[in-house]
Structures are given as structure tokens and as C-alpha cells.
Amino acid sequence: MSAGELLPVDKALERLLSGTEPLDKENVPIDKAAGRVLAEPLAALRTQPPFDASAMDGYAVRAEDVAALPASLKVIGAAPAGRRYSGTVGKGETVRIFTGAPVPDGADAILLQEDARIVGDGVIEALESVAQGRHVRRAGLDFTEGEALLPAGRILDPAALSLAAAANHAEVPVIRRPLVAIIATGDELLPPGSRPGPDQIIASNGYGVAAIARDAGATVLELGIVPDDRKLIAAALRCALDARADILVTLGGASVGEHDLVREVLTAEGMTLDFWKIAMRPGKPLMSGRIGRTHALGLPGNPVSSLVTSHLLLVPLIAHLGGRSHRPDIREARLAKAMAQNDRRQDYVRAAAEETPEGLLATPFGVQDSSMLKTLAQANCLIVREPHAPEAKAGDKCRVLFIR
């Protein structure tokens, strides 16, 4: 790629993910595993249910004893959940039983409590017949010991998490969460709550990028604001590397100005630069490289640029390292307003999309300056316009990428 050539967005993403494998595994307690990705297949450590169990509250009976009605049965005991009846049900006998309790020996069906009438002390009358096996959960109905239950790569959603717990896993092997270290650079930046001088601004990008990273499944190490100083930038970089960050995100300082020092410092510290400058708007001056095992992403300093590029490139990288598939939420819509012809960069236009009786309607905001966070906060999607897209009229089809 020549010095003036811009890398297409899809090629940038392809190169960013090329040769990248999911991270190593770790075992975590089951109560900390929600939303994590299984690193290995999970098999059952027990049989569920471990015994023939009652599926209903009622009476454990022999089906042949209630085949002809009316039928009177003698109640010889009770079986609440967690405490089985230890005797045997004989001819003309029954045991009061509750949901989940083991079915006593000799019984082969459950008579529902509403289908029985108490007629005397310790005697009931069956009002309905029941077939053999009715309302009985056979041992192993759900799963048996050693049975494969969940494949590697399965996200531990509520159902999968409950299944793992039922299978008696106190901890589960999951893919480690990617660690994302974030460094914001710039002499002009101050943290929120500060009183800026006449030439200073409040740093904002890092908070949004960190939130995007966490939502994508990463752990975040926020290294704060670093002035435009080579030694201080290098020191922050070493903090990230010492913490074994999987991804280093820098905000600002990766362009070509004499105060843009990030690329220079990272290269001096061993970064192999893969690409720089992407054919997209906003977000053209984006840098990607590797420092050993750590991915380095130099995001633009403009707030909207850094957040949009995080959605497009950081999120897929986190997903890939974390063993997840990433499918951007792209849908077809129609334009509510006309749009001018596009240039050579792929455009991501902040817009508000809403459902109408005619389908999804996307309204682009008029001013798209990459410093304007208010319009990004008001937008729920980005209209994706291909390079050199012709002028579009209101009502024309378009593609929108939902970001919230």
C-alpha cells in the first residue's frame, strides 16, 4: 500500500483479525461465569433426575389399583421433596407425594391430588384412572452422567449456566476475557470535573471506548491521560505491557503532526506497524500494529471518530479474542432525506432510525463534524455509504448499522 493510499474498511478488519486466535482458558466459579464463553465441551457430572421422581403433587399409586373406579386406597406414608418414603407400596396402598420427591418402590404412577378425595382417616378415593408412568420423571430424563451437554464456544447464557450448575459443575472452563488497556494522550486534556484553562478541553473519549470494550466482553485497564511527552507515553505503554494487556488502545497522537508522538513511541518500543490510515469517515487516521502478543490500536483523537472506530474494529477484535462470533447489526432502511454523492472513503453517517408502517426510516443528522458528541448520543445508528456512492434521494434504500 503506497503512502497516500487508504486501506478499505473490510480489508482493515480482515488484517486486524488475521492470525488472531481466541485467548487461553481459565476456570471460574459458576456464580461468576454468566456471559462467559466455554473453552471446552462440558459433560454432565451426574444424572438428572438421579431417580424416578414425581412431576406433580399427589399420590404415588400402582396404576392397576386405580384402573377400575371408584377405587379406595390406604395412605401408608408421605414423601416430600428431599426425603423419600423408604417402604414399598403394595396392593391397595398409596403414598402422599410432592413434586420432585423419589417415587417409592412398588408405585408406577402419580394420581394428581385434585383427582383424589379424602374419605376417612388415612383413606382416599381415586376419582380418575392413571396410566402406568403418568406424571413420573424417569431417572436420566434430562441428562445422564458423562453425557455431552454444552459445546466449546457456547456463551453461558441463563439456560446454559443453569444446565452447567445442574450437571454439578462448581466451576467451568472459559476463555479468558481480553484485557484492554486505554491511554489518552494530549497536553490539552483534563479529566471531568476539572477547571480547564483557555486552551484546554475535558477528556471524554476514554470513557466511551472503555464502555464499548466492556460491553463487548473485555476487562478494561484505564491508564488515564498522558501528556505529549515521549518518555511519559513510553512509561504508560510499559504499564500496559507489564499488565499483559491483550489490546492497547491509544486515543489521539497517532496522526502526522509534530506533537503526534504515539506511533513514533510505539515503534521505538518494538511495535510492528501493520496499517495506518483507513478509507473511512470518521476515523481515517487509525493505526494498527503488534507489540509482541499485544495488539496496538491507535484511535483518532476526535471523540466521534474514536467511538465509531471502536464499534467497527475494536469490538470485533475483542469478540475474536474472547471466542465469540461478531455479527454487526446491519439492516436495510430508506432515507428520510437526500444525501450528497460520497467521495473515496466509506462514510458512517450519524442518523436516527425509526420503524414506520412502510418499514425502517433513517434520518441523517445535518452536521457530521467528528468532534460533535451530541449528535452521536442522539443517533441510534450509522448510515453506511460506500466509497463513491452516488447522490441519494429521500426514499432511496440504504444500509444502517445500529449502535444502540
Q: What number is the average pLDDT over the span 111-125? A: 95
Q: What number is the average pLDDT over the span 44-50? A: 98
> Which DSSP letter does residue 73 get?
E
Are 336 and 359 in contact by the 8 Å Cβ rule? The answer is no
For the domain 25-48+142-175, what is the CATH code?
3.90.105.10
Question: What pLDDT is recorded for position 120?
Answer: 87
Residue 397's SS3 state is: strand
Query: What is the Cα–Cα distance from 40 to 51, expressed in whole angstroms?
Result: 28
Query: What is the Cα–Cα distance from 9 to 284, expressed in whole angstroms?
Result: 10
Question: What pLDDT is recorded for position 4?
Answer: 60
Q: What number is the average pLDDT over the span 46-58? A: 97
Residue 384 has pLDDT above 80, yes or no: yes
Q: How many CB atoms lie within 10 A of CB 105?
A: 14
Query: What is the Cα–Cα distance from 188 to 165, expressed in whole angstroms?
Result: 51
DSSP string, 267-315: HHTT-EEEEE-BSEES--S-EEEEETTEEEEEE-SSHHHHHHHIIIIIH
Are 319 and 345 in contact by the 8 Å Cβ rule? The answer is no
Output the CA–CA distances (angstroms, integers) from residue 226 to 184, 200, 305, 306, 342, in the order listed. 6, 14, 19, 17, 36
Runs of H (alpha helix) within 123-281: 158-166, 205-215, 230-242, 262-268
Compute the mean pLDDT over every residue in the chain, rounded to the nearest whole number: 95
For residue 135 the three cell numbers come to 406424571
Query: What is the Cα–Cα distance from 31 to 36, expressed in whole angstroms?
Result: 11
| pLDDT (tens digit per residue) in 317-351 | 999 999 999 999 999 999 999 999 999 999 999 99
Q: Using the CB atoms, write b or e for 177-212: b if 16+ within 10 Å.
A: bbbbbbbbbbebbeeeeeeeeeeeeebbbbebbbeb
Question: What pLDDT is recorded for position 5?
Answer: 80
Question: What pLDDT is recorded for position 91?
Answer: 97
Query: What is the Cα–Cα distance from 307 to 14, expressed in whole angstroms?
Result: 20
Read off the pLDDT band of 253 (50, 70, 90): confident
CATH fold of the domain at 9-23+177-321: Molybdenum Cofactor Biosythetic Enzyme; Chain A (3.40.980)
Runs of H (alpha helix) within 70-204: 158-166
Q: Decide if 25-48+142-175 and 330-402 have a common fold.
A: no
Q: Which CATH architecture does the domain made up of 53-137 adopt?
A: Beta Complex (2.170)
Name which of 111, 143, 151, 108 is nearest 127 in CA terms: 111
**pTM, two decimal places:** 0.88
Read off the pLDDT band of 260 (50, 70, 90): confident
> Which DSSP letter does residue 266 get?
H
| pLDDT (tens digit per residue) in 54-112 | 999 999 999 999 999 989 999 999 999 999 999 999 999 999 999 999 999 999 999 99
Domain edges within the chain: 9-23+177-321, 25-48+142-175, 53-137, 330-402
Share of the chain above pLDDT 70, in %: 98
Backbone angles phi, psi at 296, to 5 degrees: -115, 125
Query: What is the Cα–Cα distance from 336 to 365, expressed in whole angstroms?
Result: 11
Question: What pLDDT is recorded for position 259?
Answer: 54
| pLDDT (tens digit per residue) in 138-184 | 999 999 999 999 999 999 999 999 999 999 999 999 999 999 999 99
* CATH 3.30.479.10 assigned to 330-402: no
Question: What pLDDT is recorded for position 255?
Answer: 62
